[in-house]
């Protein structure tokens, strides 16, 4: 089935550092979504992308829809302790089946 | 506007029993998805309901089933519980034909002893 590969799998960074993570697909996507999940809670939608090459920001978060439509990137600037969590990419390849990435676990050291 | 709600928050069952989990979508959302998330792992797609019909299911045995009611709320049933069914079960809703973003509930933590 559809595979969404996220990298890195985990990150340990100092507070104030910038973070970059990416997601690649084996299929073309027409939507890319980025979610954050805190332990024991449901994922929260951070950013949605709908057009190849699109660059969208949400506060300190910036995400880009890759021009090949098979990848997406999420950047977090000036990380803070509350950025800790697991970040998932997601998106429907065709039709309405949704797939989620393997997740990137972020730890911010104060 | 209320978000997606799920009940119960926690559920403890023993092996062989049946579990019923409930989900109420955001008002106006007609599509409900169910996911299983085992501890430390990613989200595994379980079931998708839209307009009262099951539209798709993931790679799970038939003892995982559910339904969607006329008010678009949904129920997930897990029969003959096994130890490996212990997980966080997440429900998400979306307005299927508009953009496609899914909005998640807080989840139900199912523990099978």
Structure confidence by residue, pLDDT tens digits, A87-107: 999 987 555 567 888 899 999
For residues A45 and A29, the model is more confident at A45
Best mutation site among B100, B105, B106 for testing chain A: the one with the most A CBs within 10 Å?
Answer: B100
* Total Cβ atoms within 10 A of residue B28: 10
Give me the residues of A, 4-33, that contact B with CB < 8 A: 31, 33
pLDDT of A30 reads 84
Tokens (6 digits) for B11: 């559920």
pLDDT at B99 over 70: no
Q: Which of A54, A98, A103, A107 to mutate to test the interface with B (most CBs of B within 10 A)?
A: A98
**pLDDT confidence of residue A99:** 80
Establish, for the pair of chains A and B, how many residue pairs have beta carbons separated by less than 8 Å: 55
Cβ-nearest to A42 among B56, B96, B104? B104
Please list, in sequence order, all residues whose beta carbon lies within 8 angstroms of the beta carbon of residue B95, skipping any fewer than 6 positions away. B28, B29, B30, B31
Alpha helical stretches, state H, A10-61: none
Among candidates A50, A98, A102 on the partner chain, residue whose Cβ is nearest the Cβ of B102 = A98
């Amino acid at each position: 089935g559809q595979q969404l590969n996220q990298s890195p799998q985990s990150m340990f960074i100092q507070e104030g550092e910038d973070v970059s993570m990416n997601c690649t697909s084996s299929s073309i996507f027409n939507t890319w979504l980025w979610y954050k999940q805190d332990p024991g809670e449901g994922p929260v939608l951070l950013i949605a992308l709908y057009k190849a090459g699109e660059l969208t920001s949400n506060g300190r978060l910036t995400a880009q829809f890759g021009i090949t439509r098979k990848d997406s990137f999420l950047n977090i600037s000036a990380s803070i302790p509350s950025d800790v969590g697991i970040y998932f990419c997601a998106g429907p390849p065709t039709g309405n089946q949704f797939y989620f990435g393997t997740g990137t676990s972020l730890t911010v050291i104060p | 506007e209320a978000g997606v709600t799920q009940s119960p928050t926690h559920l403890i069952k023993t092996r062989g029993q049946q579990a019923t989990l409930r989900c109420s979508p955001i008002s106006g959302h007609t599509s409900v998805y169910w996911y299983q998330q085992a501890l430390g792992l990613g989200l595994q797609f379980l079931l998708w309901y839209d307009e009262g019909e099951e539209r798709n299911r993931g790679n799970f045995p038939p003892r995982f089933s559910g339904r969607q009611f006329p008010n678009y709320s949904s129920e997930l049933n897990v029969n003959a519980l096994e130890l490996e069914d212990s997980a966080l079960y997440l429900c998400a809703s979306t307005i299927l034909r508009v953009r496609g973003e899914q909005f998640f509930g807080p989840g139900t933590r199912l523990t099978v002893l």
